[in-house]
Chain A
Amino acid sequence: MVYITSWDEFVERTVQLFRADPESTRYCMKYRHCDGKLVLKVTDNKECLKFKTDQAQDAKKMEKLNNIFFTLMARGPDVDISEISGKEQIEAQPAKKGRGRKQ
């Protein structure tokens, strides 16, 4: 079991995992204040995806993932989450491209 380093990859793969088996997939968050560490884990008892961070900015990203999973789990796996996840991509992508390629 390895930690996934890319946030976007983590989001994509966890949502895929949930949609493949909505009834046995769970999303777990562990927060350790004394070490300032946050670990996110999504597993369906066969595959396990984890993401580890100590950065406050990742907590903001996690908030969006929380919203995605609340929606998926309460409304069902077929619900359209592009609005929830779409917002963050629209906000994040142009800024990244602009900075990266102009230099």
Chain B
Amino acid sequence: MVLLQPDPFLNELTSMFERSTETGSVWVTLKRSSLKSKVQRNKLKTAQQPIEYRCLIRATNAKKTISTSVGVKDHQRFQASYATILKAHMAALKKRERKDRKKAVEDKKESGSKKPKRA
């Protein structure tokens, strides 16, 4: 596991997507983490010091794993770049076709009728 800075991580993620176009998958996991061991966390707890949490991001293509973390200050910039990469590389998903449109309308009706229940 390599812990990278956010920008090198995004570059590496891009090449993972590019290398997995013909075969293989890419996994990306988000997790709230303090990036500290349990022992360290317990020490902070007993000292009654606040534990600082960040958002840990891990990506793998089954051969290689990379990771990075973002905090309160930089998560918005990161999530914007991350969204751009996803948009650029998720080109294999189906666009809505005319045939599907009927289905889509029916789905919408269903979800529309469900909503008032929740409210």
Interface residues of A (CB under 8 A from B): 6-8, 12, 18, 22-23, 25-36, 38, 53-59, 62-63, 66-67, 69-77, 93, 96-97, 99-101
Contact = CB atoms under 8 A, between A and B. Distances in A.
Contact of A56 (B27, B56, B96): B96
A30 B96 contact: no
Given A33-B89, A59-B90, A70-B78, A26 B53 contact: no
Interface of A is mostly: helix
Nearest to A12: B118
Contacts, number: 135
A55 B96 contact: yes
Contacts of B87: 59, 63
Contacts of B70: 70, 74
